[in-house]
Structure 1
Amino acid sequence: MKNDLLKILEIIKLGEKLKFEMRHSWLSNGRQESVAEHTWRVSLMAMLIEPYLKQKVDSSRLLKMIIIHDLVEAEAGDIPAFDTMDNHTVKEQKAMNEIKSIEKIRDTLGGAMGEELYNLWFEFENKETFESKVANALDKLEAQIQHNEADISTWIEIEHKMSFMMDKHVGFDPILQLFKDLIEEEAEEKLKEAGIDTNSIKEAIL
């Protein structure tokens, strides 16, 4: 038992790194966001939105999936989505680094728990189950909410376009689609207030 607890303590200490691993997102007070803060709010979103989803969700599995998914970034680092969008090499390297990290987490914990977290991480990545689709959708939506809350000066140009590219993540559930629409409307209003032509952005996506 003591040995098992030492292994758990090692993973908890790994999690501390997420408190100072920064994301390409800024808070409303001008401070950069940590991965840990992002993960916490995705978990909060899951808890609040779960009762409204069209299909019953395994809440425990959903929350575990959200929490474990970003833990790999304690070693692999956080790479923004826009860095992998059109760069196959970066995308492939990111995947390799994250797989190495989740394998290390599995091997450190060992036993059933190590295998469970390993499988949950890949379930999220594969996006085939309802829970994994919800987890992925909330992950993307939280990032956009955070952008909406940050000063527009922190946005880079590709993020103007990405504000209108979330449909593919939410189309499987009407509530998430509606939730996305509300978040997208906030983004569009913010862009318009900054004098940015959102119609041309949306036309370019189509």
Structure 2
Amino acid sequence: MISDLQKVLEIIKLGEKLKYELRHSWLSNGRQESVAEHTWRVSLMAMLIEPYLKEKVNSSRMLKMIIIHDLVEADAGDIPAFDTLNNLAIREQKATNEIKSIEKIRDILGNDLGKEFYELWFEFEEKNTYEAKVANALDKLEAQIQHNEADISTWLDIEYEMSFLLDKHVEFDTNLQIFKDLIEDTAIKKMANSGINISEFKEKAMAK
């Protein structure tokens, strides 16, 4: 038992790194966001959105996936989505690094708990279950919400375009589509108020 709990403590210590691993997202107060902060709010979103999902979900399994999926970034680091969007080599390297990390976590725990972490991480990545699809959708939607809350000066050009790339993540659930539309509308208003050529970036997104 002591040995097992020592392994648990090691993973908890690994998780501390997510408190200072920064994402390319900025808070409304001008501070850069940590991975841990992103994961926490995705978890909150899951609890809030669950009653509105079109299908019943295993909420415990879904929350576990959300909490575990970014844990690999404590070891592999965070690579922004816009870096992988049009770059296959970076996307493949990111996947390789993260698989090595989840294997390391599985091996540290070395028991059924390690196996559960490993399987839940891949379930999230493969999006073959309803819970995994919802978890993935909320992950993407939270990132856009955070961009909407940040000062527009922190946005890169590609992030204007990415505001219109959320449909594919929510197409499986009509209420998530409505939720996405609310988030997208906020982004559109933010861009319009800043004089951004919305049509240009929407067209680029639709061409993908």
Give 2:180's aligned residue.
180
Distance 2:116 2:204 in 1: 42
How do 1:163-202 residues align onto structure 2 when only pairs under 5 Å count?
Answer: 163-202=163-202
Match of residue 71 from structure 1: 71
- Cross-structure match for 2:112: 112
CA distance in 1, matches of 2:10, 2:204: 48
Find the aligned partners of 2:54 and 2:91 in 1 and give their Cα distance. Answer: 32
After TM superposition, give the deviation of residue 150 of structure 1 in Å. Answer: 0.2
Listed one character per residue, the Cα deviations across residues 109-150 of structure 1 (whole Å, up to 9, x for unaligned) are 111100001000000000110000000000000000000000
The alpha-carbon deviation at position 204 of structure 1 amounts to: 2.7
Match of 2:11 in 1: 11
Q: How far did 1:168 drift?
A: 0.2
For residue 108 of structure 2, what is the amino acid of its counterpart? T
The count of residues paired between Structure 1 and Structure 2 equals: 206
| TM-score, length basis structure 2 | 0.98
For 1:188, the aligned partner's letter is: I
RMSD of aligned C-alpha atoms?
A: 0.6
Q: Deviations over 1:86-121 (max 9, x none)?
A: 111111111010000000000001111000010000
Q: Normalising by the residue count of structure 1, what TM-score does the alignment of the two structures yield? A: 0.99
- 5+ residue gaps, structure 2: none
CA distance in 2, matches of 1:58, 1:157: 38
Give 1:203 shift. Answer: 2.3
Q: Residues of 2 paired with 1:75 and 1:34: CA distance?
A: 14
> Is the contact made by 2:162 and 2:205 (CA closer than 8 Å) also made in structure 1?
no
SS state at 2:72 partner: helix
> Percent same amino acid at aligned positions?
74
Q: What amino acid is the match of 2:145?
A: I
Letter matched to residue 106 of structure 1: R
Deviating beyond 2 angstroms after TM superposition, the runs of 4 or more aligned structure 1 residues are 203-206
| Gaps in structure 1 of 5+ consecutive residues | none
Matching residue's letter, 2:134: V
What do residues 129-184 of structure 1 show as CA deviations (whole Å, max 9, x unaligned)? 00000000000000000000000000000000000110000000011100000000
Equivalent residue for 1:84?
84
Q: CA offset at residue 38 of structure 1?
A: 0.1
The one-letter amino acid paired with 2:70 is: D
Question: Shift in Å at residue 83 of structure 1?
Answer: 0.4
